[in-house]
Structure 1
Amino acid sequence: MKSVYTRQAIVTLIVVFGIQFLLSLLIYGVGIIHLALLDVYKKDDASTSVVGSLFINLMSITGPLASYFINRWGCRVTSALGGILLVFGLGASFFAESFWMLMVTNGIIAGIGIGLTVLPCPVAIGYAFPKHSGIAMGITTSAIGVGMLVSGPITQHLLNTYGLRGTFLLSAGIASHVLPCALLLNYSQVKERKAAQNTNRHKHFKTYISLLHSPSYMCVLIGAILWNISYAIIMIHLPSYVVHTGSSREQASFMFTVIGIGTIVSRLTIGLAIGPEGLDPLLLNFGLTAFVGTLIITFPLYITFSFGPLIFASLYGIYSGGLLVFTVPLCLEMAGTDRLTSAVGLWFFLLGLGSLTGPPIAGLVLDVTGSYKYSYILSGLFVLLASGFSLLASIWRESKDEKLQSTEFSLSPMIKEADDFEKVNFDDVLSSREQGVKLLSNNT
């Protein structure tokens, strides 16, 4: 039984790696496609960014829906259903005649599809590797770095060769490879059957309410929302910002390659660092977000230098890439295995709400001020605020642990006295009974 479980865990690791690699090819090409949408539809930056924003952020907003599907039908069915919607949405974008139709096909349908496809991945990892979720997440999320590594050049090549519509059609072909991976996604048949038997709407929503009553978990979620507002801005507007300062589109797409290299190293390193008896993920999350916020705020100061964008891309990849690794370890720590699916679903949902507003805000700031500089300063402030909430969550958790320890300490003498009392009474009863039996036999 142990060997079967090990094989399932290894297959889960490989399959999740493959799914996240394929999806990252599509996700991190959004910034390059954004430039093509500006050229084709001639709309303002804020309106045009809605397409890419929907595509990226519906991936997260569908978290509660995806978690309900996972509890009901398992990771395999949920991920396969998402893959079908993703392929259909991207394929239909080839036939979209208007910008508004593209918002429906590429933004909404494909966005929901990518959400149903990606959420089963961390859930499956959490169940397959409950004690080593950090390193498992580090390995699988490094696939996102590999996808980012090649996403920019591939997307730019497709646009140069086949145009915008052809790129959407070929993207549907790339997405179709998710389906066989999804059919192999099976973390544990026992857990899936148990979840399906216990799932009902009342219990599902009750679990979310219980999660919202955890102050430290809510601080982590608020920090994640703020960080993802900035993350969405970077992913969509970074190519435009770099091109605006004089770089070519090929150089802009190469920045995602540099970021991808950094994220691979970061995710593997952090995955090892937060393993059993490793570093505290909350404090590590605080340090990384504080550095990333400072990096983003100062980016406008050195973007005009020849190597400025590459320096930013290198540091941003190294220090921001590992933040995704914390998702499952923190959810397991604060919610437990029984509520893991709901905790991850709520996490993704609130991330989506944050990053959904990021690109339109940045586009609005750009339209008003005429400069990307101010949107990046605002973005960096959001990340610094996120680091503050991570620190607050750590303090809140420690104070709670101290209360629990003090409660256990104060109860321990009472428990000891109760144990001694029961032991003494039991011994006395036995002794009295033995003496009574001896006395009765002597009298007889």
Structure 2
Amino acid sequence: MKLTEPDRGWSWAVLGASFGIMVVNGCLGQGIGVVHLALLESFNESNSKTAFAGSLFAATQSCGGVLAGFILKKYSCRVATAVGSLIMTVGFTCCFFLNTLDSVILFYGGIVGAGAGLTYTTAVVVLGFNFEKKLNIAGGIAVSGVGMGVMLSPVIQETREMFGNRGLFFILAGFSLHVGLFGALYFPSRLEKRKTVVVRSLENLNRTSEEIYGIDLGTNDVIKSPDVTKELVPSSGKITKQESMISQIYNVCTNVPFATLCLCLFVANFGIYIMFLNLPNYAVLNGGTAIQGSVLISVSGICSMIARVLTGLTTNNDEVDGALMLFGTLSVLGISNICLPLYGHSYGGQIVYSVFLGLYSGVSFPLLNGLSIRLVGLRYLATAVSIQMFSVGLGILSGPPCGGLYLDSGGTYDTCFLMTGFIILGGAMFSMTSEYFRKRRRLPVETSPDRDALI
């Protein structure tokens, strides 16, 4: 099979497939509210316990990237997506037959969420294997699919009305199966094959002779490969030992600039998802209707789709730095949060904030591939993105409950949003701290992927 060349040909079909998977994940992610209503009607359990199903789904959708790292290391993006699609389909189908909320929480929140996280993370990683010069543009277009998925969330509600609370899960299983069809378009690329050759060669170093051999990606003949040798041999001249997935995670996490960037993602999403969860109810408490509250989320989704495309276009050249872009957008969002008590008591002001929330909350995702390659290199891309998505998931899982505890203890929404703004500003500061550590260590734009460059 002819391998896909970066930035041209079939790479754009891969981008289309990634976009389609993002649309499905965005639709399912924003559909947790509809599923929440379906579970309330079906099981008549408490609101807090029922809400845990949707919260767990959103968290595992991000944290599922860890599973993606293990599968991508051994197999390919196509296999990882097929496995994730199958997990989602089986999980939703089982929910159709379950009779207790606890079991639904396990299958919907845990199993389906993990499958969704696997497909989502792979849809991000596959772009790094198919684009080089136009990586940020591709990333912006792909993740804008999440915003389109938010716009399509009313489809989930219409499905529920047509097929009932249980039938909803069966239809969602069909949606999930389509993700596997998109993943079938992930044809192997030259960059992905090169990464596989490097990893497999590392795993067999203890059996190699004095010379290291690689695979000529054009002819599939076994020849001496200077490029592979360069990637495998550190500048010190010593050959590293066999590298397991655990050691890869350790090496990446001990990279101080990368670890600080993950801390930025955790803190920022901790605050951002407090806003996503509470903004509709905030509108109702200020005299709006439930429909008006849902419109706020739709407005943020539309703006998010636009912002992600523009971010990719803006950062596609060296004139705009991705780390600086991340710092600036999070800072603007934090300031808009701090000022929300001043203008947010009118519905017009809430619309204005929804625009800010959509434009600046999802900018980090188009930048993940570029920032990861700059900090840890191409060979560690899958592991790095997996850890980043895990950090995002931890923020999603911990932020809304902490906000809820504060409100339940007598705190006001205005004070909660004010503190959330400072939290988001803290995330922005961590992004610049990561860049400071990178420049202090003088890491090049494309870091050598050997371990010596990572620690």
Q: Deviation of residue 213 (structure 1)? A: 2.4
Partner of 1:128: helix, strand, or coil? coil
Q: TM-score, normalised by structure 2?
A: 0.81
Q: Is the 8 A contact 1:125 1:133 kept in 2?
A: yes
1:319 CA drift (Å): 1.8
Aligned-residue offset at 1:320: 1.8
Structure 2 partner of 1:427:
none
Does residue 61 of structure 1 match 2:66? no
Displacement of 1:154 in angstroms is: 2.4
Q: Is 1:254 matched with 2:306? A: no
Q: Which moved more, 1:357-366 or 1:299-308?
A: 299-308
Query: Does the aligned pair in 1 maintain the 2:4–2:188 contact within 8 Å?
Result: no
Deviations 1:176-216 (A, max 9, x none): 21121112223426247526735869432222222222222
Structure 1 residue 16 displacement after superposition: 0.5
Larger CA deviation: 43-52 vs 221-230: 43-52
- Which residue of 177, 193, 197 maps to 1:194? 197
2-structure distance, mates of 1:267, 1:279: 15
Aligned ranges for residues 328-367 of structure 1 at < 5 Å?
328-367=369-408
Shift of 1:347: 0.9
Equivalent-residue separation in structure 2 for 1:243 and 1:158 (angstroms): 25
Question: Pairwise CA RMSD of aligned residues?
Answer: 2.7
The superposition leaves residues 13-59 of structure 1 with CA deviations (integer Å, 9 ceiling, x where unpaired) of: 11101111111110112244445555665555543332112111112
1-side partners of 2:148 and 2:444: how far apart?
Answer: 44
Alpha-carbon offset, residue 314 of structure 1: 1.4
CA drift at 1:344 = 0.8
| Partner residue, 1:29 | 31
Q: Which residue of 1 aligns with 2:96?
A: 94
Q: Deviations over 1:213-254 (max 9, x none)?
A: 222211111010011112333333333333344433332222
Structure 1 residues 228 and 43: alpha-carbon distance in aligned structure 2, compared to 1, 3 A threshold: farther
- Partner of residue 16, structure 2: 14
Structure ID, larger Rg? 1
AA at the equivalent of 1:27 = G
Q: C-alpha offsets along residues 334-377 of structure 1, whole Å, 9 cap, x if unaligned?
A: 01111111111111122212211122222222322265444433
Q: CA deviation at 1:313?
A: 1.2
Distance 1:349 1:240 in 2: 28
Q: Partner of 2:362 in structure 1? A: 321
Find the counterpart in structure 2 of residue 238 from structure 1. Answer: 279
Q: Is the 8 A contact 2:20 2:145 kept in 1?
A: yes
Give the Cα separation in 2 of the matches to 1:40 and 1:377.
Answer: 37
What CA distance in whole angstroms lies between the structure 2 residues aligned with 1:21 and 1:138?
13
1:299 paired residue number: 340
TM-score by length of 1: 0.83
Among 257, 276, 279, the residue aligned to 2:320: 279
Q: How does 1:43-442 map to 2 (within 5 A)?
A: 45-151=47-153, 153-188=154-189, 190-191=193-194, 193-194=196-197, 197-198=200-201, 202-369=243-410, 371-401=412-442
Tell me the amino acid that sits aligned with residue 175 of structure 2.
I
- Work out whether residues 366 and 372 of structure 1, in 8 Å CA contact, stay in contact via their aligned partners in 2: yes
Question: Which stretches in structure 1 are left out of the alignment for 5+ residues?
Answer: 405-444
AA aligned opposite 1:356? L
Kindly state the Cα deviation for residue 132 of structure 1 after the two structures are TM-superposed.
2.1
Given residue 64 of structure 1, which amino acid in structure 2 is its aligned partner? Answer: V
In 1: Cα distance, 2:26 partner to 2:114 partner: 15
Query: Is the Cα–Cα contact under 8 Å of residues 46 and 367 in structure 1 kept in the other structure?
Result: no
8 Å contact kept, 1:45–1:367: no
Distance apart, 1:281 and its partner CA = 0.8
- The residue type equivalent to 1:264 in the other structure is M
Percent identical pairs in the alignment equals: 28
Q: Is the 8 A contact 1:34 1:236 kept in 2?
A: no
Give the superposition deviation at 1:276. Answer: 2.5
Moved more, 61-70 or 76-85: 61-70
Farther-moved stretch of structure 1 (31-40 vs 217-226)? 31-40
Q: Relative to total residues, which structure has the larger helix share, 1 or 2?
A: 1
